[in-house]
Amino acid sequence: AEPIRFASSATYPPFEFMDKDNNIAGFDIDLAKALCHEMKAECTFSNHAFDSLIPSLKFRRYDAVISGMDITPERSKQVLFSQPYYANSAVLIVRKGTITSADQMAGKRVGMENGSTHQKYLNEKHPEIKTVAYDSYQTAVIDLKNGRLDAVFGDTAAVNEWLKTSPELTTVGEHIADPAFFGAGLGIAVRPDNTELMAKINTALDAMKKDGTYKKISDQWFPQ
Q: Which is closer to ligand ARG, CB of 73 or CB of 147? A: 73
Residue closer to ligand ARG, measured from CB, 98 or 156: 156
- Under the criterion CB under 6 A, does residue 82 sit at the interface with ligand ARG? no
- Is there binding between residue 32 and ligand ARG (CB under 6 A)? no
Q: Give CA–CA dist 117/140, Å, rounded.
A: 15
Which of 184, 196, 191 lies closest to 78, judged by CA? Answer: 191
Exposed/middle/buried for 124, CB within 10 Å: 0-12, 13-18, 19+? exposed
For residue 67, state whether it binds ligand ARG (rule: CB under 6 A).
yes
Which residue among 25, 27, 38, 68 contacts ligand ARG (CB under 6 A)? 68
Selected range binding ligand ARG among 8-16, 40-48, 165-173, 209-217, rule: CB under 6 A: 8-16
Q: How far is the CB of 68 from ligand ARG (least distance, A)?
A: 4
> Is-contact 124 117, C-beta < 8 A?
no
Binds ligand ARG (CB under 6 A): choice among 7, 13, 14, 15: 15
Among 4, 6, 14, 16, contact with ligand ARG (rule: CB under 6 A): 16
Q: What CA–CA distance (Å, rounded) separates 4 from 65?
A: 10
Question: In the window 143-172, what residues touch ligand ARG (CB under 6 A)?
Answer: 155
CB of 64 to ligand ARG, least distance (A): 14
Cα–Cα distance for residue pair 98/150, rounded to 1 Å: 8
* Residue number, 65 or 198, with CB nearest to ligand ARG: 65
Residue 63 CA, distance from chain mean position: 18
Interface region with ligand ARG, contact rule CB under 6 A, candidates 38-46, 113-121, 195-203, 215-223 = 113-121
| Window 33-62: residues binding ligand ARG (CB under 6 A) | 50
Q: How far is the CB of 54 from ligand ARG (least distance, A)?
A: 10
Q: How far is the CB of 117 from ligand ARG (least distance, A)?
A: 4
Shortest gap between Cβ of 166 and ligand ARG (angstroms)? 18
